[in-house]
Amino acid sequence: MAKGSLKPTHPRTCCPEPVPISHDLQEPKAVQVLSCQATGHDIRWQGNMARVVCPAHCEREPAAVAVGTGVHPLGSPICLGAIVDRVLPVYGGEMMLTKAAPIQAQRILGQPAGLESYSGGESNVAVSVSATGLKGEAWHGYPTDTLDLSPSLPPEHVVQDCMETFDKLPLETFGDSVIINCPGRCGGAGKLAGTLIYSPDSSMCWAAEHAKVIGPRGGRAMVTRRHGQNEFFGSTEGSEQSQDAPGANASYTVALPTSDVLARMAAPKKTFL
């Protein structure tokens, strides 16, 4: 450094500028241990996310009644709902939860957040009920550490075409998840049906933008296959508008992938000529 100068005599080339994130979601660090009766009202939400641990055998809790599948009203028991969704085994485990923020159009009109109705479902050991007219926010989750979760997760699915739909993903059963990597500005490409939970023929990257998981520059999102829904409800969030649609035998949610999940993602296989 030159004498009497506060500036170096050569440019800094060692450290690139950090890449700005494409969303305003912040990953929670603290873990909250739940009881089988805990609902979304008991969660210490960090923004609109929470990392939680469920005990074993919440399907045996007689006081817990789960509502909905894939997306649940805030008053629905967390751990039992996750068992119904098949994202959590009966032995319990750790999950990342996302609380659905009020849709902008609903806020403007003074309508409650969440879905107009919730579709019930079942797994091999637990069931949930359907409900209509439940006011308030909603939640959904995906596993981050369970006994049946593979140490190495599948490679990310790189989306080449904004019109690519959820039903093209390699997700065979309910509860399966994969990380997608979206290009930017996919809003308006193809079809988008649903709010918080989307139809199989919806454009996955457009859905991720609508759910505010990624921004217009693209990015990564965790996609989880869910049980079928009786109906999909459209909404407007900013410039992203989805439509109503009849039910289907599968549905999909999108969420922010955590750093530990990204670290366990397998590298794509290389092909040699």
Q: d(Cα 47, Cα 158) in Å, to the nearest integer?
A: 28
Which residue, 255, 160, 252, is CA-closest to 202?
A: 252
Show the domains of the chain with their CATH numbers. Answer: 27-147 (2.170.130.20), 150-266 (2.170.130.20)
Beta bridge partners of 226: 251
**Residue 152 confidence (pLDDT):** 85
Query: pLDDT tens digits for 140-155?
Result: 999 999 999 988 888 9
Q: d(Cα 243, Cα 124) in Å, to the nearest integer?
A: 32
Query: pTM for this structure?
Result: 0.86
**Residue 136 confidence (pLDDT):** 84
Tell me the CA distances in angstroms from 161 to 165, 182, 205, one per residue in order. Answer: 9, 9, 9
The two tokens of residue 272 are 């040699």
**Residue 1 confidence (pLDDT):** 47
Q: d(Cα 7, Cα 246) in Å, to the nearest integer?
A: 64
Contact 214/221 with Cβ under 8 angstroms? yes
**Residue 14 confidence (pLDDT):** 39
**Residue 101 confidence (pLDDT):** 56
pLDDT of the chain, 273 residues: tens digit per residue: 444 444 444 443 333 333 334 445 578 889 999 999 999 999 999 989 999 999 999 999 999 999 999 999 999 999 999 999 999 999 999 999 999 855 554 545 555 567 889 999 999 999 999 999 888 899 999 999 999 998 888 899 999 999 999 999 999 999 999 999 999 999 999 999 999 999 999 999 999 999 999 999 999 999 999 999 999 999 887 778 899 999 999 999 999 999 999 999 887 766 555
**Residue 270 confidence (pLDDT):** 61
Query: pLDDT tens digits for 79-109?
Result: 999 999 999 999 999 999 999 855 554 545 5
Percentages of the chain per state (helix, strand, coil), in multiples of 5? 10, 35, 55
